[in-house]
Amino acid sequence: MKTSYEVNINHPKDLCEIRKEVYPHLTSVFGKDQLLVDASISEAVTNAWKHGHEESSEKPIKLKILFLNRTMLVRVQDLGDGFDWRPYQVSSDVKHWFPEVEDLDENGRGITLMLRVMDKLRYNEKGNECVLMKKYLFQE
């Protein structure tokens, strides 16, 4: 099976095409957690489109998904000005962090999801590119 996928996306709905190729791979390495992993990828792309491109479909969002030895890496890059991601980073163990509902305002919910589901979430300095990392649950 192919181990890397690279595509330019102009709108989050364009994920449907790459999802057809990636979904069997997600299922084989993440089992029933593939839905959460897929939701995290969708959130990263939606954030790039919504905030980075201000919901414009004129500019491409670069999406690259790599299945390495025992880790999946996802890189999402938009052509926007970036954002200050630092307020959304949580220094404690986020897997055991349960925010209050009131703390989950509209901005930041996707980042909270990505932090909870993925093993790592990193942004470049500018804030227009993120990398998601998740270790496999199962062997292929």
Q: Per CATH, which fold does 4-135 belong to?
A: Heat Shock Protein 90 (3.30.565)
Residues 75 and 131: beta-carbon distance below 8 Å? yes
Q: Which residues pair with 62 in a beta bridge?
A: 8, 77
Task: Give the chain's mean pLDDT.
Answer: 87
Q: Tens of pLDDT along 18-29? A: 999 999 999 999
Q: What is the pTM of this model?
A: 0.87
Of 99-103, 106-110, 136-140, give the lowest mean pLDDT range: 99-103
Name the H helices within 1-140: 15-30, 34-47, 109-117
On the 0-12 / 13-18 / 19+ scale of CB atoms within 10 A, 4 is exposed
Q: How confident is the model at residue 89 (pLDDT cuts 50, 70, 90)?
A: confident
Question: Domain-by-domain residue ranges, the chain?
Answer: 4-135
The reported pLDDT for the residue numbered 69 is: 85
Q: Does residue 55 have a pLDDT over 90?
A: yes
Of 24-38, 82-96, 126-140, give the lowest mean pLDDT range: 82-96
Q: How confident is the model at residue 64 (pLDDT cuts 50, 70, 90)?
A: very high
